[in-house]
Amino acid sequence: MRKKITHNEYRPHFKFFRSPGFFPTNLCFGYELEVQGRDVEHIINRYPHLYAKDESSVDGCEINTHPFNWNWWLRNNGIQYVNEIRSGSGCSVNRACGFHIHLSRSWFSRQHLIRMAKLFYANPKFIEHVSQRVKARSTKNWTLLKNAANPWILEEMIRCCVIDAEQLKDKDFNNPELCKDIVDGIYEERSVALNFCNRDTIEIRIFQSTLNPKLIQAYLEFALACAIYTRNIRFQDVSVAGLKRFVRHNPWFPNLHRSRLMSSCRYSWR
């Protein structure tokens, strides 16, 4: 049956694209690529792992993937369609468009999720740079990035009356108890950097959208690196420096390494 752009509340019956190999078979990814424009149906119908939904916030649509594991993604060149979107659809991206990555929640233990929370929330300046958002104000409606002195989930929590301002004032995200509360959903807000509110996935919501396939690969490799790095490490040892060493010393992240996404340089997201 021919695929069409569906309404934004549509939930498909997911097809899982898995292959055996070196990487964990049960760690699945999925992502949402927001674009301006809607002329994508002729492209998504050529790729079984794609579907598309309306995205009114950017006057366009979001191109979504069914779940896939990393072995399948590498073996099947899952990114190849992006060049067709870029050259044959009339679609574009701007600063309002985001790129969100989902990871299988079942692959993570609770303690593993707590270590992921620390990596993201204790290092806001680093995460802001990796996001490729130009300024903090360009992220506040999506990922609530703030400067290091003001934890970047605070503003939205206060605005939504989810939590009293004094409860988070001067909180230290190196504190495992605060990270546990985030993972356990005490702060039920999905528009944050690392969303734990979904039943089956955790969602990384930080990224600037792009039609640059190499940057999309780098984003996905960053998610893979964060997941594997935090899997077997003590909470107190989780750090940006440790993540950078992990990426540098492993051959699994070529696009992440070449993009210099984790360095002081910015990559072209256009």
> pLDDT per residue over 40-50, tens digit each?
999 999 999 99
pLDDT at 264: 61
Q: What is the DSSP string of 77-111?
A: TTTTHHHHHHHHS--B--TT-EEEEEEEGGGS-HH
Q: Are residues 75 and 123 in the same domain?
A: no
Q: Are residues 25 and 144 in the same domain?
A: no
> pLDDT per residue over 119-172, tens digit each?
887 887 888 889 887 654 444 444 443 333 334 443 433 333 333 334 444 556
User: Is pLDDT at 22 greater than 50 in this prediction?
Assistant: yes
Residue 178 lies in a domain: yes
Residue 205 lies in a domain: no
Q: Are residues 75 and 116 in the same domain?
A: no
Whole-prediction pTM value?
A: 0.83
Which pairs from 88-91 meet CB under 8 Å and 24+ separation? 88/43, 89/35, 89/37, 89/39, 89/40, 89/43, 90/37, 90/39, 91/35, 91/36, 91/37, 91/38, 91/39, 91/40, 91/60, 91/211
All residues at 6 or more sequence positions from 251 whose CB lies less than 8 Å from its CB, including other chains: none
| Tally of domains within the chain | 2
Of residues 56 and 215, the one with the higher pLDDT is 215
Residue 182 DSSP SS3: helix
Task: Give the mean model confidence (pLDDT) for residues 85-108.
Answer: 92
Q: Point out the domain boundary residue: 92, 127, 154.
A: 92
Whole-number Å distance between alpha carbons of 211 and 90: 12
Residue 175 lies in a domain: yes
Report CA-CA distances (Å) from 88 to 39, 55, 176: 9, 20, 48
Q: Point out the domain boundary residue: 92, 124, 157.
A: 92
Q: Are residues 117 and 70 in the same domain?
A: no
Q: Are residues 7 and 117 in the same domain?
A: no
Q: Are residues 232 and 164 in the same domain?
A: yes
Buried b (16+ CB within 10 A) or exposed e, 152-178: bbbbbbbeeeebeeeebeeeebeeeeb
Report CA-CA distances (Å) from 55 to 8, 60, 62, 240: 6, 5, 6, 33
Q: Band of the pLDDT at 265, cuts 50, 70, 90?
A: low
pLDDT at 80: 93
Residue 270 lies in a domain: no
Q: Band of the pLDDT at 39, cuts 50, 70, 90?
A: very high
Whole-number Å distance between alpha carbons of 230 and 233: 6
Residue 105 lies in a domain: no
Residue 208 lies in a domain: no
Angle at 48 between CA 43 and CA 52, to 5 degrees: 55
Range of the domain at 235: 110-193+214-259
Q: How far is CA 207 from the centre of its chain?
A: 6
